[in-house]
């Protein structure tokens, strides 16, 4: 490792191979998303990684974010939740482990080190009372509320998934000591996030078919708002579906744009944890790697 590479921060990545054991024919939220990403991160030599298996999140932590009746229904249901969000055998346990990955990453971040949860299912569309948009439990919201319980005074969430994080917004709206900012395409699923919501929700919709500079500008505005909030912990809902080849949206980000987003996160100089949300192209592993390299101080040249 040369002198420049030695400055790259070691990253803790939470992953459990069981999250790749369920699937639905033709569904874009498929096991290959994490399998291929893990393979790429494991092959490359530019980003030092500590791999860690998450624990399942507890019921107590889950029902801070979700209605208890929904939590119990998730464990007992055998029917699809909506047309986008199928029932899978054991989906309750998969969702608990994904939320556990977010919780584990949050705790590592509280110790001053970067951490990322590379798990599925994603979580940012899950509402207090129901699943939707491929999401069953809201991993980010669960982690934020647990961070407050552990003593964090001010927690900010920034979500750069191309789809608005409506579930995270719904759970965190009005929560003392919390700020939520989302940069997303509009119009696009789920159709929300058109404006700020007092007192702590800030939405930055980007028009369909925008150039990367427009998405970057919106992200910079959201980050400036976050910096003014002056949090002692930052959660990043990292979605990679604003990529130009992603099948579920109409944006034009490239790998270099995700590396740039990572560098902006690093420049916050605050404890940060990240959680995988969306991203459905075949290039997801490259995009995640570029983002993580930017966040940890590595050059994008290493991810060619």
| pLDDT grade for 292, boundaries at 50, 70 and 90 | very high
* pLDDT for residue 303: 55
Average pLDDT, the chain: 96
What is the mean pLDDT of the segment spanning 187-198?
98
* CA 141 to each of CA 144, 220, 243, 246, 291: distance values in angstroms, whole numbers, following the listed order: 5, 23, 25, 26, 22
pLDDT at 2: 38
| pLDDT higher than threshold 70 for residue 1 | no
- Length of the chain as a residue count: 304
List domains and CATH numbers for the chain: 9-303 (3.40.800.20)
Q: What angle do CA 112, 163, 63 make, to 5 degrees?
A: 60
Is residue 302 scored above 90 in pLDDT? no
> Is there a catalytic annotation at residue 252?
no
pLDDT at residue 4, as a whole number: 42
Q: Model pTM?
A: 0.96
Supply the pLDDT for residue 98: 98
Calculate mean pLDDT across residues 38-52.
92
Task: Kindly report, residue by residue over 213-247, the tens digit of the pLDDT.
Answer: 999 999 999 999 999 999 999 999 999 999 999 99
80-112 pLDDT, tens per residue?
999 999 999 999 999 999 999 999 999 999 999
Among residues 92, 125, 184, 259, the one annotated as catalytic is 125
Q: Determine contact, residues 156/222, Cβ cutoff 8 Å.
A: no
């Amino acid at each position: 490792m040369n002198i420049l590479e030695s400055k790259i921060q070691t990253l803790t990545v939470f992953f459990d191979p069981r999250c790749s054991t369920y699937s639905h024919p033709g569904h874009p939220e498929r096991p290959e998303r994490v399998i291929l990403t893990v393979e790429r991160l494991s092959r490359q030599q530019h980003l030092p990684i500590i791999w860690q298996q998450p624990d399942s999140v507890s019921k107590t932590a889950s029902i801070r974010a979700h209605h208890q009746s929904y939590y119990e229904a998730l464990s007992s249901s055998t029917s699809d939740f909506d047309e986008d969000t199928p029932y899978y055998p054991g989906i309750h346990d998969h969702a608990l482990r994904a939320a556990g990955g977010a919780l584990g990453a949050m705790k590592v971040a509280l110790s001053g080190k970067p951490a990322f949860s590379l798990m599925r299912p994603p979580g940012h569309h899950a509402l207090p009372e129901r699943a939707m948009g491929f999401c069953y439990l809201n991993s980010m919201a669960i982690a934020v509320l647990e961070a407050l319980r552990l003593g964090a005074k001010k927690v900010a969430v920034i979500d750069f998934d191309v789809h608005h994080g409506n579930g995270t917004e719904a759970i965190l709206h009005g929560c003392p000591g919390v700020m939520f900012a989302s940069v997303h395409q509009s119009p696009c699923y789920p159709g929300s996030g058109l404006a700020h919501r007092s007192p702590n929700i800030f939405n930055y919709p980007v028009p369909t078919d925008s150039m990367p500079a427009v998405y970057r500008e919106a992200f910079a505005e959201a980050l400036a708002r976050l910096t003014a909030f002056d949090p002692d912990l930052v959660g990043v809902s990292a979605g990679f579906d604003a990529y130009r080849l992603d099948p579920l949206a109409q944006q034009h980000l490239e790998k270099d744009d995700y590396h740039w987003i990572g560098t902006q996160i690093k420049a916050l100089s605050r404890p940060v944890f990240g959680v995988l949300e969306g991203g459905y192209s075949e290039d997801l592993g490259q995009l995640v790697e570029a983002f993580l390299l930017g966040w940890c101080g590595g050059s994008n040249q290493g991810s060619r």
